[in-house]
DNA sequence: CTTGCCGGGAA
DNA sequence: TTCCCGGCAAG
């Protein structure tokens, strides 16, 4: 365990503030995490700083790492336990070989381990595994006293691998978007020990959120201790603690703060996963909404998240909740490797907040498409004479998903009449197609009249012969669909 | 009132 | 299936 020390160092590394109390240290770590590179620079510390940078910019990751390695390499070693791939050697060598992703993975794993250690109890609630719920009694005692102690303890108990996590993990890559280490995952990881795969990423993301949410929610039986550097306040309710953090510490933080609160306090029963928290937290915080991965992530995560954070996201609730809430969870449960079953579904993580809107939007689009495939607007506002392309185009709109996007240059003009015959033939062909298209029929609602002129207007009643058959039959105009 | 089109019916 | 129209709703 002596080796651990390095790990600690690492953690402390986050800040030069070693002098401070352990709690303070942790706090700092957290802070960094959250700052996520914003302020990080001063952190000079190899880990903290570097990591931060890394997080923000993946590119640099390796390089800095290599150097920094020296400092915390050892610490990383413990992680090795977690990750079989890396030999005991402290040297960055392994990393160097690896691709960034792999590195991240390691980080993630480490983080997961940590998480599992720290938070597992809560998660444990899930039937699947109770394996190692709490680091151990010893740790329990300590955590009260020193926040930092928590980390260490956890790591120590576990195997040290975890210890490093706090720093490396937090600072590490995993924080980036994976912030979420779902308890479940963590468990699985620990057990499995195998390297996480892509699947983990997704799950992790969700997991983290879940984790946080869980913690904040009712999951606990214990009291909550404020991790803020000088504040050791203990409250029995998470809500109260949040408030406390928000008001007293975060204060101005405002919106995001509400999410962050979670990270500033820990519950007694479970070791606070400071490292974990921050890591997860950071990414989201700094890069509002659109993370690199967000695109993909959002949809899925969003669904899960909406309900949870609730307080923060009033708006999101209505939109996102409906669809995602119910359906998602179920699928997830089933799909999950078994680990997730109990935990995940509902958790609303503040993190994912951005998602809801997008998600809803997507849904909307889909609906739109579904209902109004024909919606394609007719661009020919101007009756100006052009060569109007065959009406068939109109029909073609079927493929056009994007409502307005499809602009078809069609202009009908005097010549129209002449060409009409030809077109007419085409129209006829189309007719059947249209009939076939369910869209119209399905949408019972009568759509308002579009601005597009129809045959009647174009040709006039007197030239009714030129109308498309649909118009003649008083059906939806095929030639000039809206 | 005009226009666009659904719903339905007759051939 | 084709053709037609009553009637509704939007403008």
The DSSP result for A124-180, as a single string, is HTSSS--SS-SS-HHHHHHHHH-HHHHHHHHHHHHTSHHHHIIIIIHHSTTHHHHT-
Kindly determine whether the C-beta of residue A445 is less than 7 Å away from any atom of nucleic acid strand C.
no
> Cα A465 to the chain's mean position, in Å?
58
Distance A456 CA to C3 C1' (A): 18
Residue-level pLDDT at A460: 83
> Is A68 in a helix, a strand, or coil?
helix
CA atoms of A404 and A418, how far apart (whole Å): 29
Question: In this structure, what is the dihedral angle of CA atoms A315, A317, A318, A321, given to the nearest 10 degrees?
Answer: 150
Tokens of A338: 């078994």
CA atoms of A282 and A13, how far apart (whole Å): 18
Strand B: residues with CB below 7 A:
A 440-441, 444, 446-447, 449-450, 453-457, 461, 470-471, 473-477, 481-482
Residue nearest to nucleotide C11 (CA to C1'): A449
CA atoms of A417 and A322, how far apart (whole Å): 51
Residue-level pLDDT at A449: 61
Which bases of strand B have any atom within 7 Å of the beta carbon of a protein residue? 3-8
Across chain A, what does the average pLDDT equal?
A: 42
> Cα A188 to the chain's mean position, in Å?
21
H helices of A265-407, where? 276-285, 294-304, 306-309, 316-320, 326-335, 354-371, 392-396
Residue-level pLDDT at A113: 56
Kindly determine whether the C-beta of residue A451 is less than 7 Å away from any atom of nucleic acid strand C.
no
> Which parts of chain A register pLDDT below 50?
1-98, 100, 103, 118-220, 253-255, 257-258, 270-444
pLDDT one-digit tens code per residue, A340-387: 333 333 333 333 333 333 333 333 333 333 333 333 333 333 333 333
Residue-level pLDDT at A117: 53
Residue nearest to nucleotide B2 (CA to C1'): A457
Kindly determine whether the C-beta of residue A461 is less than 7 Å away from any atom of nucleic acid strand C.
no
Q: Where are the domains of chain A?
A: 4-312+325-353, 373-472
Distance A12 CA to C10 C1' (A): 70
Backbone angles phi, psi at A265, to 5 degrees: -135, 160
Q: Which nucleotide is nearest to A443 (CA to C1')?
A: B6
Distance A371 CA to B3 C1' (A): 22
Residue-level pLDDT at A112: 64
Distance A395 CA to B3 C1' (A): 22
Vertex A292 angle, CA A286 and A293, to 5°? 110
Kindly determine whether the C-beta of residue A456 is less than 7 Å away from any atom of nucleic acid strand C.
no
Residue-level pLDDT at A466: 81
Which bases of strand C have any atom within 7 Å of the beta carbon of a protein residue? 2-11
């Amino acid at each position: 365990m002596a080796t651990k020390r390095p790990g600690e160092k690492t953690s402390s590394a986050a800040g030069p503030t070693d002098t401070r109390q352990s709690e303070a240290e942790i706090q700092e770590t957290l802070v960094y995490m959250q700052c996520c590179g914003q302020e990080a620079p001063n952190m000079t510390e190899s880990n903290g700083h570097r990591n931060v940078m890394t997080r923000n910019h993946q590119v640099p990751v390796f390089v800095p790492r290599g150097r920094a390695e020296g400092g915390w390499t050892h610490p990383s070693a413990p992680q090795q336990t977690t990750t079989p791939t890396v030999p005991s050697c402290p040297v960055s060598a392994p990393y160097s070989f690896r691709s960034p992703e792999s590195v991240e993975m390691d980080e993630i794993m480490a983080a997961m381990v940590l998480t599992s250690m720290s938070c597992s109890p809560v998660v444990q609630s899930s039937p699947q595994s109770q394996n190692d719920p709490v680091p151990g009694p010893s740790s329990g005692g300590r955590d009260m006293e020193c926040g930092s102690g928590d980390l260490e303890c956890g790591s120590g108990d576990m195997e040290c691998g975890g210890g490093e996590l706090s720093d490396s993990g937090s600072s590490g890559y995993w924080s980036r978007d994976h912030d979420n280490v779902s308890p479940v995952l963590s468990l699985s990881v620990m057990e499995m020990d195998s390297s996480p795969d892509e699947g983990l990423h997704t799950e992790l993301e969700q997991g983290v959120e879940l984790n946080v949410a869980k913690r904040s929610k009712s999951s606990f039986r214990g009291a909550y201790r404020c991790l803020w550097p000088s504040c050791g306040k203990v409250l029995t309710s998470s809500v109260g603690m949040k408030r406390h953090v928000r008001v007293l510490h975060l204060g101005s933080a405002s919106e995001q703060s509400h999410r962050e609160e979670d990270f500033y306090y820990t519950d007694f029963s479970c070791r606070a996963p400071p490292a974990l928290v921050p890591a997860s937290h950071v990414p989201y915080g700094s890069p509002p909404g659109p993370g690199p991965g967000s695109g993909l992530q959002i949809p899925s995560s969003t669904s899960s998240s909406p309900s949870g954070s609730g307080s923060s996201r009033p708006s999101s609730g209505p939109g996102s909740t409906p669809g995602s809430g119910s359906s998602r969870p179920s699928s997830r449960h089933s799909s999950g490797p078994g680990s997730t079953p109990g935990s995940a579904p509902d958790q609303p993580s503040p993190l994912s907040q951005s998602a809801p809107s997008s998600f809803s939007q997507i849904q909307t689009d889909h609906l739109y498409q579904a209902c109004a495939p024909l919606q394609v607007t007719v661009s020919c506002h101007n009756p100006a004479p052009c060569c109007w392309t065959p009406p068939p185009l109109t029909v073609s709109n079927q493929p056009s998903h994007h409502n307005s996007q499809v602009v078809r240059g069609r202009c009908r003009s005097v010549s129209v009449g002449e060409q009409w015959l030809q077109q007419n033939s085409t129209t006829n062909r189309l007719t059947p197609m249209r009939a076939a298209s369910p869209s119209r029929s399905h949408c019972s609602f009568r759509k308002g009249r579009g601005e597009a002129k129809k045959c009647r207007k174009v040709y006039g009643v007197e030239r009714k012969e030129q109308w498309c058959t649909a118009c003649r039959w008083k059906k939806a105009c095929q030639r000039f669909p809206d």
